Structure 1
Amino acid sequence: MRRFVRVAAAVLAVAAVTAGCGTGTDAVAQGGTFDFVSPGGQTEIFYDPPSERGTIGNISGPDLMVEGKTTSLSDFEGQPVVINLWGQWCGPCRGEADDLEKVYESTKDLGVAFLGINVRDLQQDKAQDFVTDNKVGYPSVYDPSMRTLTALGGKFPTSVIPSTLVLDKEHRVAAVFLKALLAEDLQPVVERVAREQ
C-alpha cells in the first residue's frame, strides 16, 4: 500500500509540474530533487533587503541553439539576470514569450541579462522552433531532464513551469514568479534590481 501511495504521489507531482498548477491554500511544488511549499499559494515572492537574499549554484548546460556550446549563469558575472524556466509544450510559456522578450530588449541597456532553461522537451528541434518562432533573443540551456536545476539546491520554488527568477548583480535571488508574466509585471522589478548598488 505504501508503495502505491508513493507511486501515486510521484505521478501527481509530475502532473502538477507539467501543468503548472497548484491547489488549496498552499502552492506545493514537487519533483526532481526538490520539494517546495509556497505559503498561502503565493505566485510572486520577493526577497528583501538585498543583504538577506540567498544565492544559487552555477547553472550550466548545453546551449539550446548552438551545438557544442555550454551556456552558464557565470557567463553573466556582475550582471542582474532574469532566469526563465520554460517548455515549448507549455501554453503559458507561449503566452509570456513576447512579454519576456520585450523586457529583455528594454532592459539590456541597464546591463540586464536573460537566461532561459528549457525543460522537459525531449525533442530539441521543437524547442528550437519555439525560440525561432517567438523571436527569443536570449540564450537558453537545454535541460530536458531538469538536471541543471539541481544548482538551485531546493532553496527556491522553481518546479512550476513557467517560473521566473530575478537575480541581482551578485546573483542573489531578488524575486521569484510562479506564473506566466506580462511585461508590466516583470519590468518594474527588473529595473529596480538593476539599479541597486
Structure 2
Amino acid sequence: MRAALTSPAARPFRRAAALLAGLCATVLLAGCTTAGKDAVAQGGTFDFVSPGGKTEIFYDPPSARGTIGKLSGSDLMHDGKTVGVDDFPGQVVVLNIWGQWCGPCRAEAPALEQVYEASKNNGVAFLGINVRDNQKDKAQDFVTDNKVGYPSIYDPSMRSLLALGGKFPTSVIPTTIVLDKQHRVAAVFLRALLAEDLRPVVDKLAGEQS
C-alpha cells in the first residue's frame, strides 16, 4: 500500500488532495473571520463572565449590566414575519434558547409558560430562540404541543446569537437570559429552570425604576 501511495502515478492525486485541503482551510478561515466581525459589530457592551463555572449569574447593580446587540430573526410560527427584542420597548425580556431535540427544554417548557402567563401583564415579555432545528415543522410542533404562548425566533444556524457577543457559550442548551427594562443583561441561567427559579428574578426587575 505504501508503494502505491509514493508511486509517480499517485503524485498528481496527492497534489490535488493537498490543494483541495488548502482551499477548504481558506474558506473556513474566511467564514470564521466574517463571523467574528459580525459578533463584534452586533455584540453591544455585554461581556459574559461565569466565575467558577457557575450556572446562575446575576449582574448587579444595574450599572454593571451590559447591553446586547440587535437581536431579531424570523418568527417561528409566522412565515414572513420578524420578531426581536426591540418589539418590547421598556419591558423586561426573558430570552430562552431552546431546541425541540433537547430533553431539558421540554422539561422546563411548562415552567416558562407558567411564569410568562403570571407576569405578562406586569411588563414582562418572553422571546424564545429556536436553534439547531433544521426541520421547522418539528419546532412548530414543540410550540403547539407545549402550548407556548410567546413568540420564538427560528434560528437553526444560531446566527442571531452573535448579538450576545463572542464569549457567550452558545453550546449550552437550554439557556435563559433575562434583560431588564433597558434591555441590559441582568441574569443568565445556563440550565433548565423551574418557575420558582425565574419568577423572583422577573418580579424584581419589573419593579425596578427605569
Q: Fold conserved (TM > 0.5)? A: yes
TM-score range, shorter chain: 0.7 to 0.9
Residue in structure 2 matching 1:99, options 100, 111, 133: 111
Counterpart residue number, 2:97:
85
Deviations 1:52-104 (A, max 9, x none): 10010111110000000001110001111000000000000000000000000
Give the structure 1 partner of residue 164 of structure 2: 152
40, 46, 62: which one pairs with 2:74?
A: 62
Q: 1:156 to 1:105 in 2, by over 3 A?
A: same
Structure with bigger strand share is 1
Q: What TM-score results when the alignment is normalised by the length of structure 1?
A: 0.80
Identity of aligned residues (%): 76
Structure 1 residues without counterparts, runs of 5 or longer: 1-31
* 1:182 alignment partner in structure 2: 194
What TM-score do the two structures reach when normalised by structure 2? 0.75
> Could you tell me how far 1:153 is from its partner in structure 2?
1.5
Within 1, Cα distance between the matches of 2:109 and 2:206? 21
Question: Which residue is 1:14 aligned to?
Answer: none
The correspondence for 1:194, drawn from 183, 191, 206, is: 206
Answer 1 or 2: which has greater helix percent. 2
Question: Which structure 2 residue ranges, 5 or more long, are not aligned?
Answer: 1-34, 40-47
Change (3 A) 1:132 1:115: same
Q: CA separation in 2, counterparts of 1:196 and 1:48?
A: 12
Corresponding residue for 1:13?
none
Of 122, 133, 136, the residue aligned with 1:121 is 133
Q: Structure 1 runs of 4+ off > 6 angstroms?
A: none
Can you list the C-alpha shifts for 1:141-190, whole angstroms capped at 9, x where unaligned? 00000000011113544431000000000000000000000000000011
